[in-house]
Chains A and B, each alone.
Chain A
Amino acid sequence: MLFKSFIAIFCFSFVHSDGPVRSMTTFFNPGCESQKCEECSPGLAYIVSKGDNDILHYIISAIGGPPSALVIKTNKPKGKFQLQIDCKKIASKNETERREAIIKPDGVKELYSFGVVFTRLFQYNDTADKADINYYNINSTAWRVYDFDKFEWQDLTMWSSNDFIVMKVKTSGEVMERAFYNESLLLQFHLFDHSDRSTELPHLQYDAESTQIDFTLQDIDTGNSSSARWGLEAVLIGQDSTDKPMSIVTKKSVDDEYTPGVFQVSNWLTRPGNEDNGGYLQWKPVCYLKSARARSVATKVDTTGLVYTEYVDDFLNNSILYSYFSDIQMVSRYATNFTFGLEKDGGFTKTNYTSWTAQLGYGAPPMDKVSSLVVGVISAGLGIPVIIIMFGGLFVVIKKKTARGEYADLDKDQSTIQ
């Protein structure tokens, strides 16, 4: 019995790397009688992730238009801990109803909350092949701006599962020529209850307090823009006062084991200087131009720096965030544009596909460490010659000494004969 349990623990320790483990429960369209709910279109996913001392609540939805992921960290009370969410109220047109859609039961105290909202998509014609969105102004090239709050999304529950939430676009709305339909825009949220490394490039390391977001653009009719490139505008929000700054910290590393050819990782911190108690959005500056991700189809991802959100506060108020934050104007929020591509890579139109992965999480962002393989090979590779040199040198010295000894004996012999 003891032996069996030892084996079980031994195996378990291999399966789950170090790091806390949580237990997750997923609810689709809470507040609705059944999962398929027309009134909650396009759908909402509510995930409760229970840890030892706290609970993470994820609310992922594109209700209102802009796709959002909200993360709320609360304490772990003895009684009820689930937030009471009524998705019908979130999706309603009535503002007061929207305000009372998310209710915290008594005993549940928020420790921190943060989230990411994708607000707009910019398409520009990169005629000079600079892959720099700031190179052009409004007049120097053709632009198309897609506001996510005009987008219609397909039913979230159709492709989602307990730890994998999928949003697919239905149309880009009436405003633009119908360039987006069916699978043109894909947002996939992976949820984790343990620590490990993603099996897909860029092999980001995740833990139980993070979620990975795959953003994919494919098969889009870019109209007359033959050198079209994209910029994705995203807003990161943190439950702090507006005078608290956020920052994007880019760390360089010599180690590109996990993401071949990429030597940087960027962390957008909601609480720089106090990362352990804040939220982050982490990404590697790489995106892929084919669905079979590989180094050969990788290209660069850049950001345009952090700016205030005065142009997109309306988008935030249209999203589910309106139901949680009493006044969005009082919360720390910043926006940036993620741009995809590098000069001479052919742009979006070459493969008509771009896919990028980012990670949203709580606490200090996970950092890659040099693996033991590298250390092992280096020590063996350099150690062996050093050892050989030492022993070889010793051997040569000894041989020289004994040779001299023999010569001396011979000399002695001769002298006695004479």
Chain B
Amino acid sequence: MMKKKFWRINDKSTPSNLILVMCFLSFGSYFCYDNPAALQDTMIKALDISESTFMGFYSWYSWPNVILCFFGGFLIDRVFGVRMGAIIFSLFVTAGQVLFAAGALVNHVWLMNVGRFVFGIGGESLCVAQNTYAVKWFQGKELNMVFGLQLSFSRVGSTVNMNIMQPIYQLISGMGFKHEYTSLGVVLMIGAIMCIFSLICALVLSFFDKRADRILKRANVTSDEAIRITDVKYFPLTFWLLCIICVGYYVAVFPFIGLGLVFFEMKWGFDPSLANNVNSLVYIISAVASPVFGFLIDRTGKNIFWVILGTVCTIGCHALLAFTFLNPYVAMSCMGLAYSILASALWPITAQIVKSTQLGTAYGIMQAIQNLGLAVIAIVAGAIVDSKGYLILEVFFLACLCVALIAAVLLYLVDASKGGKLNLSAKERRKLAALNSEQGEEKKLLD
């Protein structure tokens, strides 16, 4: 009976729909991240900026985060804890979006860049906080599904943004503001409301997390156990292999989608709206499939096999796109499914490699390396396409995926040689966790 109480966090002490609150934590951030894309032509006209200044709104978000989300993760582990961390970074997100909107209101692009920078510091570290929360609450239970749901919500946030920002702008500009940029500023402020909503979610989670800590009598982290920045050196090989898989896979999906529109127009002769449809298939399918696959992976366990499956599947999709004229709907749909599988299966593995006191830092590192990879490869991919064409670009992406595949296979082998902890089936994992918690109980009784 007592064992059961330790297991179930979502009992009378906390409502189970807290999963939703957790997913909405970064909804505001994902919604506002793609505001520039949704309002691209409007921004370029209203602010009278060039295409490269416009792209700067994205650069100011991503380049600082190559390093900063590592520190964000470390701060979550060492200084703030996940509760304060989530609240602080939500504040950054909100403040950043407000600055961004204010910059548009007064037509100062430098202020908008500052806003995006602040927004970025908050946004990426908020993801790290969200991942840490998820592991803290759902490890050993529905962790894969929760990660899948988080992915789903991020896509939904992005899609909602793409679909409603333009109509809102039309509405606001019809109100007769003197300058176009004033209307733009007002619309962006509306985006800030989404961020405030996410801030409220952070506060709600903080309340319930503190309460659960109190009820379940979770021990405070002592200073010996707290992470030091030098501890990063001692992260196991399996963690770094996981990072390689993360980078190798993501750089073959997102930069590809960034360049996909013209590829579909030129190779298959699609018109722009059809090409757009095919291109966004990955996002649409992953929004629906991630939680489903997450649930499935929770049932079966064996995460590393799923990671390998997702990678091999994506290799197949890129091969189809590169070497055949088969309708890209097939390849992109499969890619959406494969991406859902990988995203749901990959991130929870970190929780089994790294101690819970180092989890924020670990996720911070993974995210930082991922951001660096995406930023660099986006530029490289553009250069490859301009000089050598799409076939060579696809071959390049295949090579990246092969690197991820090699890392995944090595991960399995390294892990298998150490007893195969990471690739347990769900049943084996539950047995192991029960064993651990029993030993933990005994230890407490003996002390």
Contacts and interface: CB of A to CB of B under 8 A. Distances in A.
Interface of A: 252, 254-263, 294-296, 344, 370, 373-374, 377-378, 381-382, 384-385, 388-389, 392, 395-396, 399
A277 B444 CA distance: 93
Nearest to B413: A392
A263 B266 contact: yes
B402 A381 contact: yes
Contacts of B6: none
Interface stretch (B59-67, B81-89, B129-137, B318-326): B318-326
B398 A378 contact: yes
A374 B395 contact: yes
B417 interface: yes
Contact of A263 (B267, B272, B396, B406): B267
B385 interface: yes
Interface residues of B, number: 30
Nearest to B324: A254
A385 B416 contact: no
B100 interface: no
A261 B266 contact: yes
Contact of B392 (A257, A384, A385, A396): A257
Contacts of A395: 413
Contact of B409 (A261, A294, A370, A392): A392
A33 B267 CA distance: 54
B387 interface: yes
Contacts of B387: 260
B402 A384 contact: yes
Nearest to A383: B402
A389 B312 CA distance: 13
27 contacts: A254-B322, A254-B323, A255-B389, A255-B391, A256-B267, A256-B389, A256-B391, A257-B388, A257-B389, A258-B389, A260-B385, A260-B387, A261-B266, A261-B390, A263-B266, A263-B267, A295-B386, A344-B272, A373-B392, A374-B391, A374-B392, A374-B395, A377-B395, A381-B399, A382-B398, A396-B416, A396-B417
B413 A261 contact: no
B391 A388 contact: no
A255 B323 CA distance: 8
Contacts of B323: 254
Contacts of B385: 260-261, 295
B402 A260 contact: no
B321 to A, nearest CB: 9
A374 B413 CA distance: 30
A382 B311 CA distance: 12
Nearest to B315: A382
B386 to A, nearest CB: 5
A263 B387 CA distance: 15
Contacts of A396: 413, 416-417
Given A392-B413, A396-B413, A260 B395 contact: no
A378 B395 CA distance: 7
A259 B386 CA distance: 9
Contacts of A255: 389, 391
Given A254-B323, A254-B324, A378-B395, 5 more contacts: A255-B389, A257-B388, A260-B389, A263-B267, A388-B409
User: Across chains A and B, which 4 residue pairs bring their CB atoms closest together, nearest first?
Assistant: A260-B389, A256-B389, A381-B402, A392-B413
A11 to B, nearest CB: 27
Contacts of A344: 272
Contacts of B266: 256, 261-263
B378 interface: no
A344 B272 CA distance: 10
Interface in B79-118: none
Contacts of B49: none
Nearest to B268: A263
Nearest to A263: B267
A256 B265 CA distance: 14
Interface string B141-175: 00000000000000000000000000000000000
Contact of A260 (B322, B390, B398, B405): B390
Nearest to B399: A381
A382 B409 contact: no
Contacts of B410: 388, 392
A384 B406 contact: yes
A259 B389 contact: yes
B208 to A, nearest CB: 44
A404 to B, nearest CB: 15
Contacts of B406: 384-385, 388
B252 to A, nearest CB: 11
A14 B324 CA distance: 32
Interface in B367-419: 385-392, 395-396, 398-399, 402, 405-406, 409-410, 412-413, 416-417
A296 B386 CA distance: 8
Contacts of B396: 377
A230 to B, nearest CB: 21
Given A295-B385, A378-B395, A252 B325 contact: yes
B36 to A, nearest CB: 21
Contacts of A388: 406, 409-410
Interface string B260-284: 0010001100001000000000000
Contacts of B395: 374, 377-378, 381
A290 to B, nearest CB: 14
A273 B59 CA distance: 55
Nearest to A203: B389
A381 B398 CA distance: 7
Contacts of B267: 254, 256, 263
A378 B394 CA distance: 10
B391 A254 contact: yes
A60 B323 CA distance: 41
A391 to B, nearest CB: 9
A374 B387 CA distance: 15
Interface string B349-376: 0000000000000000000000000000
A345 to B, nearest CB: 12
B316 to A, nearest CB: 11
A388 B412 CA distance: 11
Contacts of A254: 267, 322-325, 391
A385 B390 contact: no
B268 to A, nearest CB: 9
A382 B262 contact: no
Nearest to B401: A381
A335 to B, nearest CB: 25
Nearest to B387: A260
Question: For B389, B405, B416, which residue has the most chain A Cβ atoms within 10 angstroms?
Answer: B389
A385 B409 contact: yes
